[in-house]
């Protein structure tokens, strides 16, 4: 910001004060919930508002229970900054950096490329953070539903990388995007991924569940990195850079790391592949059910590329019953599981679900605590009451 | 500068009134669930929080936190670095307010 003149700074301060005063006035007058509902007619009822701006929406377990595909109006939303307005007519995707032939694509050119589709699950790295036993919290206190599965369609990143000719020195792919904070001092949100992951499975998605990508999900183009936590699937991507090193952006170097309490983020492992996890979407906490047999259903997924089995327990893990798994939509899409569980005719039952992935990893009863509250894949517990 | 600020505040106020006028004309939206208060807790420091924090994020993001003094200070240092308009004296008032109203989670 060293090039800013005093004049632009005072204008900026006036703007900041105006935005702050406007926001404070809306909040103080108690108008926010009213205004909010008027402004978001394209979202379903089965969402929990975790943050009004920037938008953080969590899907309820009832909202996830409708099917293996999470509809666009129910899909969780996590944005670092306000949803940017990207003009489709002037939009360009530039690919530059360590390449032989830098190129720029408009939307017509991207749509003219051979299209591919993939069904995959995206989970926010902070999903379950609100359930992690941390005395000091940070960020959005998600519980269960910062996860969803969609069918994404667009251009495989590898196809475009072949056209630009990647330099042998390139090792990482940086995604730059159109979103930015209200204040210019705030760093942009920038993520990078290893080149081999980009070549193997990354899709540049133009559509979501057969509809044009919604604005809050990254229109006109987002990266989809199957198997990795959601922050890598950058939205509103405008520029892709090939580099020798990972990005040193704040959200790479300090954010999204498994930091033990008191540890140094720079020396801590990065958050990447989704840990094996399952959620019971039916029944739900507190439900009253007829005793005898309880029909349990939910979803299980893993960034390792598939789930081998899901087990359900009603005796706090002393014994487990293997659940049935539905057909696989893809290695990185969640799988529906169902189980018919014997239950007392009258009483209280706590259902536990535990998934094991193709790499042999099993969900822990309680995930190790880390100060950012990332990767909480603790066994899901649901208490229900039975009656005759 | 002062005139500019006054004009900006007046403009923001006019915008709020315009929005209030526009809302009743729209159909009621879906019954979305909001789990946190959209208002900050009362107390000395609230006005600073509203002015310095709500520029970038809603009150809900603050209201769902629980932190001790050291953790709130770490947050405030980062937010000031990222441009939150708050000087060091205001920051002390703000930190005390946040610790008092949104202190660490206990019994966990």
pLDDT digit string, tens, across residues A222-247: 999 999 999 999 999 999 999 999 99
With residues binned 3-state (H G I as helix, E B as strand, rest as coil), the percentages for chain A, rounded to 5, are: 20, 35, 50
Residue B36 lies in a domain: no
Count of positions (residues) in chain B: 108
Q: What interface predicted TM-score (ipTM) does this complex get?
A: 0.87
H helices of chain A, in order, are: 6-28, 32-39, 61-64, 107-112, 157-164, 195-201, 250-253
CB contact (8 A) between residue A183 and residue B67: no
Residue B31 lies in a domain: no
Q: How far apart are CA A55 and CA A75, in angstroms?
A: 12
Q: How far apart are CA B27 and CA A37, in angstroms?
A: 9
**Residue in B32, B48, B73, B104 to test binding to A, most A beta-carbons within 10 Å:** B32
CB environment A297-312: b (16+ within 10 A), e (fewer): bbbbbbbbbbbbbbbb
**Residue in B29, B73, B103 to test binding to A, most A beta-carbons within 10 Å:** B29
Q: How far apart are CA A283 and CA A69, in angstroms?
A: 19
* Per-residue pLDDT reduced to its tens digit, B49-93: 999 999 999 999 999 999 999 999 999 999 999 999 999 999 999
Residue A335 CA neighbour count, 13 Å, CB half: 26
Res A339: pLDDT? 98
Contacts of B63 in chain A (CB under 8 A): none
More confident residue, A320 or B107: A320
Res B14: pLDDT? 47
Contacts of A22 in chain B (CB under 8 A): 12-13, 15-16
Q: How far apart are CA A365 and CA A386, in angstroms?
A: 24
What is the pTM assigned to this prediction?
0.88
Q: Which of A93, A230, A137 is nearest to B108 (CA)?
A: A137
- List per-block mean pLDDT (blocks of 10 residues) for chain A, which spans 388 residues: 43 65 64 61 82 94 97 96 97 98 98 98 98 94 98 98 98 98 96 98 98 97 98 98 97 96 93 98 97 97 98 97 96 98 94 98 97 97 96
| Chain CA centroid to CA A295, Å | 28
**Residue in B5, B54, B74 to test binding to A, most A beta-carbons within 10 Å:** B54
Chains A, B: CB contacts within 8 A come to 177
Residue B24 lies in a domain: no
Identify the residue whose tokens are 């033990």: A260
Q: Which residues contact B46 (CB under 8 A, 6 or more apart)?
A: B40, B97
Residue B66 lies in a domain: yes
Residue A208 pairs in a beta bridge with A152, A211
C-beta separation of A358 from A248 below 8 A = no
Q: How far apart are CA A41 and CA A142, in angstroms?
A: 23
Contacts of B57 in chain A (CB under 8 A): 51, 53-54
CB contact (8 A) between residue B32 and residue A17: no
**In CATH, what number is assigned to the domain containing residue B62?**
1.10.760.10
Please provide the DSSP assignment of A31-59 as one string.
-HHHHHHHH-TTS-SSEEEEETTTTEEEE
| Residue B88, number of CB atoms within 10 A of its CB | 8
Contacts of A53 in chain B (CB under 8 A): 57-58
* Per-residue pLDDT reduced to its tens digit, A268-303: 999 999 999 999 999 999 999 999 999 999 999 999
Residue B16 lies in a domain: no
Q: How far apart are CA A183 and CA A249, in angstroms?
A: 17
Residue B34 lies in a domain: no
Range of B97's domain? 46-102
Residue B32 lies in a domain: no
Identify the residue whose tokens are 């359900």: A312
Res B106: pLDDT? 73
Give me the number of domains chain B comprises. Answer: 1
Q: How far apart are CA A11 and CA A306, in angstroms?
A: 53
| Residue B77, number of CB atoms within 10 A of its CB | 12
Residue B12 lies in a domain: no
């Amino acid at each position: 910001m060293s090039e800013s003149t005093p004049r632009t700074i005072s204008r900026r301060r006036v703007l900041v004060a105006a935005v702050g005063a406007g926001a404070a006035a809306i909040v103080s007058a108690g108008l926010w919930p009213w205004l909010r509902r008027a402004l978001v007619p394209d979202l379903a009822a089965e969402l929990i508002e975790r943050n009004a701006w920037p938008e953080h929406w969590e899907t309820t377990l009832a909202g996830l229970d409708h099917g293996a595909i999470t509809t666009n109006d129910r899909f969780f939303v996590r944005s670092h900054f306000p949803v940017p307005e990207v003009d489709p007519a002037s939009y360009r995707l530039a690919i530059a950096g360590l390449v032989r032939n830098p190129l720029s694509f408009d939307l017509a050119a991207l749509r003219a490329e051979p299209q591919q589709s993939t069904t995959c699950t995206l989970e926010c790295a902070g999903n379950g953070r609100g359930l992690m036993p941390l005395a000091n919290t940070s960020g959005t206190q998600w519980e269960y539903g910062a996860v969803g599965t969609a069918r994404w369609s667009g251009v495989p990143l590898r196809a475009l990388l072949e056209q630009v000719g990647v330099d042998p020195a390139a090792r990482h792919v940086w995604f730059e995007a159109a979103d930015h904070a209200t204040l210019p001092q705030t760093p942009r949100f920038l993520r990078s991924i290893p080149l081999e992951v980009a070549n193997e499975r990354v899709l540049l998605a133009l559509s979501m569940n057969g509809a044009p990508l919604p604005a809050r999900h990254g229109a006109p183009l987002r990266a989809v990195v199957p198997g990795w936590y959601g922050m890598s699937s950058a939205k509103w991507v405008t520029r892709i850079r090939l580099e020798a090193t990972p990005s040193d952006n704040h959200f790479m170097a300090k954010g999204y790391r498994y930091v033990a309490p008191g540890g140094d983020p720079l020396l801590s492992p990065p958050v990447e592949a989704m840990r094996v996890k399952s959620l019971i979407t039916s029944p739900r906490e507190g439900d009253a059910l007829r005793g005898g047999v309880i029909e349990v259903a939910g979803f299980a997924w893993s960034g390792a590329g598939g789930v081998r089995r899901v087990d359900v327990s009603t005796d706090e893990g002393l014994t487990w019953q293997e659940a049935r798994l539905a057909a696989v939509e893809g290695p990185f899409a969640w799988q529906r599981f169902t189980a018919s569980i014997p239950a007392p005719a009258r009483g209280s039952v706590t259902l536990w679900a535990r998934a094991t992935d193709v790499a042999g990893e099993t969900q822990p009863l309680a995930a190790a605590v880390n100060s950012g509250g990332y990767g909480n894949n603790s066994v899901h517990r649901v208490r229900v009451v039975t009656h005759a | 500068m002062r005139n500019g600020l006054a004009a900006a505040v007046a403009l923001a106020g006019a915008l709020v009134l315009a929005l209030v006028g526009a809302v009743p004309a729209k159909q009621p939206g879906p019954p979305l669930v909001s789990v946190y208060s959209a208002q900050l807790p009362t107390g000395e420091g609230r006005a600073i929080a509203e002015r310095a924090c709500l520029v970038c994020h809603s009150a809900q993001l603050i209201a769902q936190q629980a932190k001790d003094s050291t953790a709130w200070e770490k947050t405030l240092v980062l937010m000031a670095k990222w441009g939150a308009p708050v000087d060091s004296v205001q920051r002390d008032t703000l930190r005390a307010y946040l610790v008092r109203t949104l202190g660490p989670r206990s019994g966990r």
